[in-house]
Amino acid sequence: MLDREDLMVKAALLYYEEEATQSEIAKKLGISRPTVASLLHEAKEKGVVKITIQHNELRLLRLQEKLIEKYQLANVKIVAKTQKNLKAAAGKLCADLVEPLLKDIKKLGIGWGSTLYEYVQQANLLTLDQLKITPLIGGIGLSEVRIHSNHLAFMLSEKYQCDVSYFYAPAIADSLDVKETLMQTSLIKEIIEEGENVDLAILGVSDPIRSSTYKKLKYISNEEAQLLKQEKAIGDIGSTIFTADGTPLTKGFSQRLLGIELAAIKKIPRVMIVATGVEKAESIQTLLAMGFITDLVIDEEIAEHL
């Protein structure tokens, strides 16, 4: 007859490896069902059986909870690094996070860029009569129209069956004089004021020196990128380029941006950042330290950095 140690191992193998029921194990080993239950419990207590959940989703959930606690956020969603298209996956997570909130929101602000484009692509067809969408940065241009704020706002309004406004200016003016002229017009004053009063802002963040959006739109020259590097620019949000301590830059390229500024973004009740690419981690960390971001959709590498 098997001794208790052998019975314990045999019962554990039958239960966990062969997926036999406790009644079947009792019959096979010639013992009672309560004895089988006792042996299985003993196997776990003695470490003969160790149950671990080997699932990347669980690890990501724990990482999300850590970031929520560390930065006092309402929500964090993380795209696994194994995803083939990080931007598309981030867009889907953004839609899943945002859409349940929209029934209680009247004014939604949206930025620009390739990651927010993916959010719009993944957005579901909804009827949100009370909602109005506002671009938060200039949205006129001839190239890569799909990632401009006006186009994103329009496409999203079509999906959500809601009202929409437009920002009748480029994201980056050709010169400071052009920007100052545009800023004097009622059209631009009104859209900026509207943007400053949204209930929820969904914005991308970038490294302006290596920004894929700026390069695609040919908005920044090599000389301007070099100047930003010298000024130690690490990121941008809305129409503000900032340094590691959050100081806005006010020279050169930084002066030509048209849209809602960082100081105004800080006053918006709910601000969601959607970003992929580990090069954006430092700028996101700086913004998180300011305490105004409420929701975060990022990839796993950024999350690990934070």
pLDDT at 167: 93
pLDDT value at position 218? 62
Rg over CA atoms, the chain: 26
**pLDDT of the residue at 251:** 76
In this prediction, residue 223 carries a pLDDT of 73
Domain ranges, residue 27: 4-45
Residue 220 lies in a domain: yes
CATH number of the structural domain spanning residue 39: 1.10.10.60
Residues 88 and 196 occupy one common structural domain? yes
50 within a domain of the structure (yes/no): no
21 and 119 co-located in one domain: no
Q: Please report whether residue 51 resides in a domain.
A: no
Residue 60 lies in a domain: yes
What is the pTM assigned to this prediction?
0.79
Question: 153 with 211, same domain?
Answer: yes
Q: Tell me if 103 is assigned to some domain.
A: yes
Q: Is 260 a domain residue?
A: yes
pLDDT at 257: 87
40 found inside a domain: yes
| Residue 22 sits in the same domain as residue 133 | no
Same domain, 151 and 299: yes
Q: Are residues 99 and 13 in the same domain?
A: no
Q: What is the dihedral of CA 233, 234, 237, 239, to 10 degrees?
A: 10
Q: Is the same domain home to 72 and 198?
A: yes
In this prediction, residue 8 carries a pLDDT of 84
* Beta carbons of 135 and 150 less than 8 angstroms apart: yes
Whether 93 and 233 map to the same domain: the answer is yes
SS (H, E, C) the chain: CCCHHHHHHHHHHHHHHCCCCHHHHHHHHCCCHHHHHHHHHHHHHCCCCCCCCCCHHHHHHHHHHHHHHHHCCCEEEEECCCCCCHHHHHHHHHHHHHHHHHHHCCEEEECCCHHHHHHHHHCCCCCCCCCEEEECECCCCCCCHHHCHHHHHHHHHHHHCCEECCCCCCCECCCHHHHHHHHCCHHHHHHHHHHHCCCEEEECCECCCCCHHHHHHCCCCHHHHHHHHHCCEEEEECCEEEECCCCECCCHHHHHECECCHHHHCCCCEEEEECCCHHHHHHHHHHHHHCCCCEEEEEHHHHHHC
| Residue pLDDT tens, the chain, 306 long | 456 777 888 888 888 878 888 888 888 888 899 899 998 888 888 887 776 655 667 788 889 999 999 999 999 999 998 888 999 999 999 999 999 999 999 999 999 888 999 999 999 999 999 999 999 998 776 567 788 899 999 999 999 999 999 999 988 888 889 989 999 999 999 999 999 999 999 999 987 766 555 655 566 667 777 777 778 888 889 988 898 888 888 877 778 889 999 999 999 999 999 999 998 999 999 999 999 999 999 999 999 999
* Shared-domain flag, residues 231 and 142: yes
115 in a structural domain: yes
d(CA 158, CA 127): 10
Same domain, 179 and 203: yes
Please give the structure tokens belonging to residue 47. 């470490």
Domain count, the chain: 2
Do 126 and 194 belong to one domain?
yes
**CATH number of residue 211's parent domain:** 3.40.50.1360
Are residues 148 and 252 both part of a single domain? yes
